[in-house]
A and B are shown apart, each in its own frame.
Chain A
Amino acid sequence: MARTHITAVVNGDETEFLAEDGTSLLNALRDEVGLTGAKEGCGTGDCGSCSVMIDDKVTTSCLVFAPEANGATILTVEGLADSGQLHPLQQCFLEGAALQCGICTPGFLIAAKALLDKNPDPTETEIRYALAGNLCRCTGYDKIIRAVQEAAREMRGQ
C-alpha cells in the first residue's frame, strides 16, 4: 500500500511521519506520531473527541486525511501545557471536576481553546455554541461550561 510522507508542526515540533493511503489524521497522530490524546469516539464526525487544531481551526481529525495536514500546524491536547505548566483550561477542568471518564476531555479542551483564542469573554450561550460539536456522556456538561468560564476569567486576568 502506498505511503505518503508528511511534514507538519505538531505541538510546536517539526514532525515527519508516514501514512498509508486513506488513513485519517487521527489515526496517523495516534499510530505514527504516538499522540493518543485525541480519541476516536465515532470516526464519523459526530462526537468531537478527536478534535485538534489545524492552523488555528478546531477540526475533527477523524474526517481529515493525513496527507491533507502536510505543511500544517497542529495542536493536540498534549501540546496545551507549557513545559509542565497546565493551560488555564486544563487547570480549571481539573479543579472543577469537569470530567468523569475523561475520554471527551481532550476534545473539549481543544474546542474551548479555539473559542477563547477568538473570544476571550464568551457568554454561556456562546460557549454552548462553540462546544456543540463535542459529546460527553458522563458529566451533563454543566461543569464543563463553568470550567470554561472560569478559565476565561483567569486568562483575562480577573
Chain B
Amino acid sequence: MAVGKTPHRVDAFDKVTGAAAYAADCVPDNALHAVVVFTNQPHARLVGVNFEETLDAPGVVAVVTAADVPVNEYGLTLFDQPVFIGLDDTGRSSVPCDVSRWEADHLAVVVAESLIQARKGASLIRSEWEVLSLVSDAVEAQSDEILVHPNSTSNTYHELRIRKGDIAEGLQSADVVIEGTYQLPHQEHAYLQVEAATAWVDEERRVTIETGGQWVHEDQEQIAHALDVAPEEVRVKYAAIGGAFGGKEDMSLQIVMAVTAKKLTNLGITRPVHCNWNREESIVGHHKRHRATVHARLGATADGIITAVEADVLLDAGAYNYTSNKVLGNLHLSVAGAYNVPNARIDSKAIYTHSVPGGAFRGFGGPQGTFVAESQMNKLASELGIDPLEIRRRNALTDLSDGITQAGLPLGVGVHRVLETCAERAPVDAPLIETLPFKSIASLPAATDQLRQGRGYAVGMKNVGFSFGFPEACEADVVFHGDIDAERPTRIELFHSAAEVGQGVHTALIQMVAEAADIDISNVDATYSDTATGGDSGSASASRLTFMAGNSVLGAVEEAEKSWADGARPALGHFRYKPPATEALDPDTGVGQPNFCYGYMAQALDLTVDIGTGHIRVDRVLSIHDVGKAIHPQMLRGQIEGAIAQAHGYALSEQLIVKDGRVLNPRLSQYLIPGIGDVPAKVECLILEGTDPLGPWGARGVSEMPYITYAPAVTAALHDATGVWMNTFPLTPSVVLEHLTAAKN
C-alpha cells in the first residue's frame, strides 16, 4: 500500500544537497544573457523609440521588439495584452500596441554577451512618450471617462449576477440586517525563486523554453499563438520550480524568451539565451492577488436564520485581464458563504484600471469573498448573541441544499462535519490557550495591562478544479515493463505534466501509480513537465492536481493493465480523465452548476493583541479540513501549515503600496512576508477523511482551503479581544491602532 503512507519526497534528496536545478541554475556555458525592458509608463503613448546606441553598445547582440512578434497579443483567458509595446508591430494583433497601460509592459528584450552588458545596453534605449491621464482606481474607472482599453466601450468589462428568490422580501422579513463595506488588499506572491528562463531552438527545430511555471501546455499554446506556429513547434519544460502560488500561471518570460530565441536563430545565432529577473523586476513585473471593494448586507431572523444576502463586488482587474474574469466568478460565489441563502442579489464586476493586473493567487477570489461572508456571519452572531458555531450550524449547506447558484451541490458537502469537529475541539466556552505574555517589542518587557486575548472562527468551502464550463481534463501515460511470461510488471514508467511547485504532487503521483498497479514505489520512475513527453495535465492550480492527476493515473493504469493482459510488452496505458462537466452561470440569474467538487474547512484562532502598540500575536490556530482522503498525510499537513503562513502575511503584514499605477515597495525589505518569528506560535491540523464520491481513493484538494478562512478568523478574534470590527487588512500595528482609536472616539 502506498496511498496514505508518508514515503520521502522524491525531490527531497536533490533539494537538501543543493543538486536540484531551478530555472535560474540552468545557465548553459555558452548562453547569452537577456534583459526585459519595461516601459515604466502606467499610461502613455509611445511616439518614438531608438535602439541605435543599444545596438552599438559593447557586447550587445540583438534587440527584440514588437516587430519580431508575428501576433503581438496574449492572455490566459482573453487576448488583451500586447507582448511588446512598439510602433512597428506586424499589425496582426487585436490589441493596439503603441500604448503602455502598465509600468511593466514590455518595450524590448536586450541580448548581450553578459548580464552587465545587457543592462548597460538597455539603459541606452531612447524612448519618447506622450503621457496620458490615468485612472488607477476601480471606483473612478466605472465612470469610463478614461478608458483603459479604448477599443472596448467600458472599463467594466465582465459582470456577473445572482438573482435568487425575492431579495426585497428576504430583507423585509429579516429581524436584523448586517451591513458593511470591505476593502480587500493586494497581495504579492513572493515565491523565493523569481522568474527565470532559458530559451533555444532544439535539434528538432522546436523553440524550446526551460523555466518554472504551472502548466507547460498552456505556456506552449500562448507561445505558439504569439509566434503563429503550431504548438508542436514549441517545447516547454520545467526545471525545479521555486514556488508559484498562482503567480506563475500567467506568462512572464515565456513568450518574450521564445520570441528572442527565434530571432537569434533567424540572425544565425544558435546559442541559448538566459534571463533571470531580480526581485524588483519580479514584484513589479507580475500580477497580484486582486484588491477589491465589497459592499454587503446580510439579513437574518432573530434566531439567526439567514433570509437574504446582498453584495456589490468591485474587482480591480488592473490593466489586463489575466484571469480576473475567473477570479471574479469565485469571489462572486464565495461572498454567499457556505450557507443556505433563500434570497440573494449579488452583482460583481471586474474593472480595468491603470494598475498592476490582478490574477491567480492561492484561493483565487475565495479569500476575498470568504472574508466578507464570514465577517458578516461573525457580526450577525455577535449582534444576536448566538454562539458563532451554533449560528453556522443553523445555516450550513448540506447535500440537500440548492446552493447559491440553484443547481444543487456536488455530493459530499462537509460543512457540518468541519463545524462539529470545531465545536468539539475548540468550543466557544473553552478557555483561551495559555501562553507566555506577548512582548510586542522583543527587547522590552510585556505590557501585560495592555494585552487582550480573543478567539475567532471562520468556515468555508473552495472548489477543486476549473469552474464555469471550462473544459477540465488531465492526461497520464504509463508504461508497464516486464518479461512476456511475467505475471506482474517489474517496473512502471509514468509520463505526466503536473507541475511540482513544491506541493509534492510528484511524490503523490508515484504513490498513486504504485497503489493503482500494486507495485512498490521504488519500481516507479517518472518523467514530468515536458510538452515533448507528457500529455496535457492542466494547471497546478485550483487545488486540482491530486484529484485530477490521481484520476488520470487510475485510468492510465487500467488501460495498461488491459494491454498487459493481452500480452503487450511493454504495455502502454494512456488516459484522459474528464470530471463531470460544469456550466457557465446564467447571465441574468446566476443559475448553473459551476463546480464538480469542493473542499471544506473550519478554523478557530486565538490571538493576543497589545492595544497600546497594535501588535498582534496569533497564539494558536486549529485548522480542520475535510480532505476526502489524505494521500500523503505529512505533505498534506505541510500544505496546511504553509497556506496558513501565507494567509497570516495577507491578514497581518503584507502591504503592497500601489499608487498611480506604480508599485512603490517592490522589495522584501519593504513588503513583509512572515518570517519564522512571525507565524502563529502553534498550528494544529485536523484532517477529516470522508471520501469524495469522485476523488481518487476518495481524495479532494487542499492547498487553498486553509488560506481562505484565516483573515476573517483573525478579525473575529480581534473583535473578541477588543470589541472592534476591522473591515480591512493587513492588520499592521498602525492599522489596528487607527481602528481602536477611531472606535474609542
Contact = CB atoms under 8 A, between A and B. Distances in A.
B267 interface: no
B242 A109 contact: no
A144 B12 CA distance: 13
A104 interface: yes
Interface string A1-44: 10000000000000000001000000000110001111111111
B12 A41 contact: no
B402 to A, nearest CB: 37
Interface string A120-156: 0000000011011011111111111100000000000
Nearest to B21: A36
B677 A36 contact: no
A96 to B, nearest CB: 8
A74 interface: no
B192 A81 contact: no
A133 to B, nearest CB: 8
A97 B673 contact: no
Interface in A31-61: 31, 35-47, 49
A76 B19 CA distance: 12
A88 to B, nearest CB: 11
A99 B20 CA distance: 12
Nearest to B27: A31
B116 interface: yes
Nearest to A91: B16
A11 B164 CA distance: 67
Most chain B CB within 10 A, of A86, A131, A139, is at: A139
B171 to A, nearest CB: 41
Given A95-B8, A132-B677, A138-B502, A103 B18 contact: no
Interface in A56-70: none
Contact of B12 (A81, A94, A129): A94
Nearest to B12: A94
B241 to A, nearest CB: 6
Contacts of B245: 137
Contact of A44 (B27, B241, B667, B683): B667
B297 to A, nearest CB: 36
B242 A46 contact: no
Interface size class of A (residues with CB under 8 A): 35 or more
Interface in B642-682: 642-646, 667-669, 673, 675-677, 679
A139 B645 contact: yes
A59 to B, nearest CB: 17
Contacts of B243: 100-101, 103, 137-138
A22 to B, nearest CB: 8
Nearest to A27: B115
Contacts of B644: 140
A142 B8 CA distance: 18
B17 A140 contact: no
B22 A141 contact: no
A144 B676 contact: yes
B127 interface: no
A115 interface: no
Contacts of A73: none
Contacts of A81: 17
Nearest to A106: B18
By CB atoms of chain B within 10 A, which of A101, A141, A143 has the most? A101
Nearest to B639: A100
B225 interface: no
A126 B174 CA distance: 54
Given A94-B13, A101-B502, A46 B676 contact: no
Nearest to A107: B192
A91 B679 CA distance: 25
A99 B193 contact: no
Residue of A46, A80, A100, A128 with most chain B CB atoms under a 10 A cut-off: A100
B279 interface: yes
Contact of A94 (B8, B191, B278, B643): B8
B626 interface: no
A42 B665 CA distance: 13
Contact of A139 (B641, B667, B669): B641
Given A90-B16, A94-B8, A104-B192, A42 B279 contact: yes
Nearest to B8: A94
A144 B116 CA distance: 37
A47 B17 contact: no
Contact of B242 (A43, A91, A97, A101): A101
B676 A43 contact: no
For chain B, give the interface size range: 35 or more
B45 interface: no
Given A39-B22, A97-B12, A102-B242, A145 B676 contact: yes
Interface in B472-509: 501-504
Interface string B33-46: 00000000000000
A68 to B, nearest CB: 19
Given A99-B15, A135-B192, A142-B641, A44 B676 contact: no
Nearest to B11: A102
B677 A129 contact: yes
Given A102-B502, A138-B243, A93 B279 contact: no
Contacts of A138: 243, 502, 638, 642
Contact of B634 (A38, A97, A131, A134): A97
A105 B16 contact: yes
A61 B675 CA distance: 19
A20 B192 contact: no
A158 to B, nearest CB: 22
A77 interface: yes
B667 A46 contact: yes
A91 B635 CA distance: 17
B650 to A, nearest CB: 12
Could you say which of B11, B21, B244 has the most chain A C-beta atoms within 10 Å of its C-beta? B11
Contacts of B638: 97, 100, 138-140, 143
A128 B189 CA distance: 23
B504 A100 contact: yes
A39 B192 contact: yes
Contacts of B679: 140-142
Contacts of B25: 30, 36
Interface string B430-454: 0000000000000000000000000
Contacts of B12: 93-94, 97, 99, 102
A39 B315 CA distance: 36
Nearest to A124: B681
B207 interface: no
B116 A132 contact: no
Contact of A39 (B24, B646, B683): B24
Contacts of A100: 243, 502-504, 638, 642
Contacts of A40: 24, 194, 278
Given A101-B502, A136-B192, A44 B669 contact: yes
Nearest to A41: B192
A30 B24 CA distance: 10
A125 B386 CA distance: 39
A103 B642 contact: no
**Most chain A CB neighbours (cut-off 10 Å) among B20, B278, B635:** B20
B683 A77 contact: no
B622 to A, nearest CB: 14
11 contacts: A78-B19, A101-B241, A101-B242, A102-B20, A102-B242, A103-B191, A103-B242, A136-B645, A137-B646, A139-B638, A140-B644
The 9 A-B residue pairs with the shortest CB-CB distance, nearest first, are A37-B18, A101-B502, A102-B15, A103-B242, A140-B641, A100-B502, A140-B645, A77-B18, A46-B668
Given A41-B193, A132-B675, 5 more contacts: A99-B9, A101-B243, A135-B192, A140-B645, A142-B679
